[in-house]
Chains A and B, each alone.
Chain A
Amino acid sequence: DVKVTQSSRYLVKRTGEKVFLECVQDMDHENMFWYRQDPGLGLRLIYFSYDVKMKEKGDIPEGYSVSREKKERFSLILESASTNQTSMYLCASSLEWRGTEAFFGQGTRLTVV
């Protein structure tokens, strides 16, 4: 089974802190994604990566950056956390093929105080 593992289930950080969310997948998938999920808004794509060191902005990249130094690992960085970044963050991975599904991690619920 494909496994996508997010490093933390729950995080509480202070405003202005630099925050790292880590995601690892074990199926050699080319694509990796970061979404945030908010009530009534569904899933919104923050960034995605289709290869090592490659990244593309999604729909809401402001206030975030990403890093993909190895194929299996995709990190989301909040450069200076703000309260409006309190959310559920979901990492996903998929093969580089249009008909393939994405596999999701368990999510990280981040609270910025």
Chain B
Amino acid sequence: AQSVTQLGSHVSVSEGALVLLRCNYSSSVPPYLFWYVQYPNQGLQLLLKYTSAATLVKGINGFEAEFKKSETSFHLTKPSAHMSDAAEYFCAASLGDSGAGSYQLTFGKGTKLSVIP
């Protein structure tokens, strides 16, 4: 089955430390991949997306992600965590390969990031 898996429902980092949020996908066709962020009681906001143009994708707020086909991964990183990065992060993939209406996103279960002062 096609799926998106995020390893770790909660991640804590110290302010200024590296942020690494993991995402793996399972798909029989080349996927399009996305990372979203959600602040408390808000909707989801796109951080970045991979659409096969480049394997290293830069997004907003200093985040970036690297697509690794051999590892079926799309991990999200940020060199130095800031207090304002505390939020929930969702990895998503467009896994459908054909047909009208097949372009919905499949989401991982989310990773809540805490930043410790």
Contacts and interface: CB of A to CB of B under 8 A. Distances in A.
Interface of A: 4, 9, 31, 33, 35, 40-43, 45, 48-51, 54, 56, 58, 90, 92, 94, 96-107, 109
Contact of A31 (B9, B45, B51, B103): B103
Contacts of A40: 9, 109
Most buried by A among B41, B100, B103, B108: B103
B90 A50 contact: no
B34 to A, nearest CB: 6
Nearest to A49: B101
Contacts, number: 66
A71 to B, nearest CB: 15
Interface of B is mostly: loop
Nearest to B111: A42
B43 A41 contact: no
Contacts of A54: 101
A94 B102 CA distance: 12
Leading 10 A-B pairs by shortest Cβ distance: A42-B109, A104-B43, A50-B101, A99-B51, A43-B107, A104-B44, A99-B32, A106-B43, A98-B103, A101-B46
Contacts of A48: 101, 104
B105 A102 contact: yes
Given A58-B104, A98-B102, A102-B92, 14 more contacts: A9-B41, A33-B104, A43-B90, A43-B110, A49-B101, A97-B103, A98-B96, A99-B32, A99-B49, A99-B51, A99-B94, A102-B44, A104-B43, A106-B43
Given A96-B100, A98-B32, A42 B46 contact: no
